[in-house]
Amino acid sequence: MSRDWSLLLGMLLALLACVLLWVLHGALMDQPGPRLADLAAANVPYSGVSNPVTSVLLNFRAYDTLLELAVVLAALLGIWALGPAVPGFQPSGPVLASMVSWIVPLLILAGGYMLWVGGHAPGGAFQAGALLGAAGVILRLGGDPRAGLPDETMQRWLAVAGTAVFTLVGLALAAAGEGFLTYPTDWAKWLILLIETAATIAIGVTLAAAYVGGRP
C-alpha cells in the first residue's frame, strides 16, 4: 500500500474514532451512574464469595466464564491440530537451571495462593492458571522440552478438566432441581472453589502446552 493511501486510511480511522468518542461521551452523559454495579454489589453477599469480580465471573455470569474456558481449550486444540511441536531448546547453563528450581516451586505456591485469595480479594482461577502456565514456560526455557507437563493422555485429561468440572457441576445442579449453574447459597463457596481449582489446573496446563506449541 502506498504512503498516500496509508495516510488517507489513517485520517479516516481517526475520524471514525472521533465520532465514536463523541457518541460514547453522549452515552455516558445521558445516564451517569454505576449501571449494574450497584445491583451486583448488593448481591455479592449471596454469591458465596466476597470478591465482587469473582462473584460476577463464577456466579452471576458463570455461563460466560464456562464458554470462555472452552475458548481457551479450543485455542489449544487448534495449536495441536497444526502439527507436532518444534524440537526443544538446548539445556540451560547451571545458573539458569538452579534459578529454575527456585522459581518454579514459588510460582506454584503463588498460584495456589492466588486461587484461594480470589474468594475475597483480587485473584482467581485465571490469574492462578497464568502463574502455573508461567512455571511451565520457565521450565521450557530452562531446557525441559515438555515444560514439566505429564504425558499426552494426562495432558488431555488435565486440559479438559476445567470445562468438564464446570459443566458437570452445572448439570448436577440442574438434575438436583436447582437449575443449570444455580448454586444453593450455602454451597456456593465450595462449588466455586471446586470449579476454580479445576479451572486453574486446566488453564495452567493449557498455557504451558500452548507455549510448547504443537501436538505432544
Contact, 110 vs 131, CB < 8 A?
Answer: yes
Query: Are the beta carbons of 142 and 97 closer than 8 angstroms?
Result: yes
Residue 180 to residue 191: CA distance in whole angstroms:
13
Binders in 47-66 for other proteins, by CB under 8 A: 59-64
Binding to other proteins (CB under 8 A): which residues in 118-157?
156-157
| Contact region with other proteins (CB under 8 A), list: 2-10, 142-150, 180-188, 190-198 | 180-188
Q: Which is nearer to other proteins, 47 or 114 (CB)?
A: 47
Among 9, 74, 86, 106, binds other proteins (CB under 8 A): 74
Segment 12-31, which members bind other proteins (CB under 8 A)?
19-20, 22-24, 26-28, 30-31
Q: How far apart are CA 50 and CA 41, in angstroms?
A: 10
Binding-site size for other proteins (CB under 8 A) equals: 52
- Using the rule CB under 8 A, is 214 a contact of other proteins? no
Minimum Å gap between C-beta 103 and other proteins is 30
Q: Using CA of residue 163, residue 166, residue 170, residue 176, what is the dihedral sign?
A: positive
Q: Please report how close the Cβ of residue 215 comes to other proteins at its closest, in angstroms.
A: 8
Nearest to 114 by CA among 199, 11, 21, 213: 199
Residue 74, all three cell numbers: 479450543
Cell of 47: 454469591
Among 49, 57, 73, 114, binds other proteins (CB under 8 A): 73
| Per-residue 3-state assignment (H helix, E strand, C coil) for 67-115 | HHHHHHHHHHHHHHHCCECCCCCCCCCHHHHHHHHHHHHHHHHHHHHHH
Residues that bind other proteins (CB under 8 A): 19-20, 22-24, 26-28, 30-31, 33, 35-36, 39-40, 43, 59-64, 67-68, 70-71, 73-75, 77-78, 80-83, 156-157, 159-160, 163-164, 167-168, 170-171, 174, 178-183
